[in-house]
């Protein structure tokens, strides 16, 4: 499905998450370590990408909120009357620092009216899905009004997978190779790593393909979970005590893990 150009199309595409009235699953996703009311499960990685992008742009929100079952401008919104529901009712919009980024009834755009910089917004608008489509729309771009605090989905649930190479500090080609290496490991490799380090192999989402389908109930970890695992693997720097050096990339851990697997460093 192409980019969704209207609020009506976005409502329709995400109708399963309207007001928690139906079967859409919500996740208590954190944003800058704070709850934001819940977001649809398919949209969680987009929230992570948004946070990573703002961190890279050196913007730290003072307040942010996503889910709010309400109508637009006080209009009626319910599980059966959906035509005027805000996208916040689906958890696919987020408001950031309304005092600094206000709602203004004007057609005139000005960077003086928002705390966001052109560079920060360019980074957000540069986040793409795996189809090359822009994931986030900023309501500072609306023609009839300016809602500088407001960011919302641009795509349907099936198109919400993040292209991490478009996210600052996300997954580029080198990182993708590292993730592929992590995913290729077996449960035994991760169990052995946990036994040697105490971290992070004991966490199910960080275990390899042999483990998927057991305690994870068949849910394959997301790329962001693998990315978190990679980050923790090299920051722990366990090789300082086992190989006489410090780990700088996954290759060090892969080599060390293989040695331990054959009891060389037991």
Q: Write down the pTM of the prediction.
A: 0.68
Report the alpha-carbon distance of residue 69 to residue 79 in Å, rounded.
10
- The pLDDT of 217-245, averaged and rounded, is 54
Q: Is the pLDDT confidence value at 154 over 50?
A: yes
226 backbone φψ class: left, alpha, beta (φ>0; ψ -120 to 50): alpha
- The pLDDT of 165-192, averaged and rounded, is 66
Question: C-alpha angle 8/10/15, rounded to 5°?
Answer: 95
Q: Is the pLDDT confidence value at 208 over 60?
A: no
- Go through the domains of the chain in sequence order and give each one's CATH number: 7-161 (3.30.1380), 173-261 (no CATH)
Confidence of residue 78 (pLDDT cuts 50, 70, 90): very high
What is the Cα gyration radius of the chain? 21
**Structural contact between residues 171 and 197, judged by C-beta atoms closer than 8 angstroms:** no
Torsion on CA atoms 166, 223, 9, 168, rounded to nearest 10: -20
């Amino acid at each position: 499905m192409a980019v969704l150009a209207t609020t009506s199309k976005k409502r329709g595409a995400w109708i399963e998450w309207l007001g928690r009235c139906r079967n859409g699953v919500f996740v208590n996703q954190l944003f800058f370590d704070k709850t934001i009311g819940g977001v649809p499960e398919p949209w969680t990685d987009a929230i992570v990408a948004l946070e990573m992008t703002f961190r890279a742009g050196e913007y730290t929100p003072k307040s942010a909120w996503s889910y709010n079952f309400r109508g637009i401008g006080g209009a009626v919104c319910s599980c059966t009357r959906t035509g005027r529901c805000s996208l916040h009712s689906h958890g696919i919009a987020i408001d950031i620092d309304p005092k600094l980024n206000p709602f203004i009834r004007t057609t005139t755009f000005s960077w003086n009216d928002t705390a966001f910089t052109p560079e920060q917004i360019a980074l957000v608008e540069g986040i793409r899905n795996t189809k090359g489509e822009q994931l986030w729309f900023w309501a500072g771009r609306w023609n009839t009004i300016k809602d500088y605090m407001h960011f919302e989905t641009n795509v349907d649930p099936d198109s919400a997978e993040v292209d991490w190479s478009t996210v600052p500090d996300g997954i580029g080609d080198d990182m993708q190779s590292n993730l592929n290496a992590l995913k290729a490991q077996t449960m035994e490799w991760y169990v052995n790593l946990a036994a040697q380090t105490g971290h992070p192999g004991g966490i199910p989402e960080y275990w390899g393909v042999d483990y998927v389908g057991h305690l994870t109930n068949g849910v394959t970890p997301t790329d962001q979970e693998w990315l978190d695992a990679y980050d923790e693997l090299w920051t722990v720097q366990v090789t300082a005590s086992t190989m006489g050096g410090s780990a700088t990339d996954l290759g060090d851990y892969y080599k060390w893990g293989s040695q331990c697997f054959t009891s060389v460093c037991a």
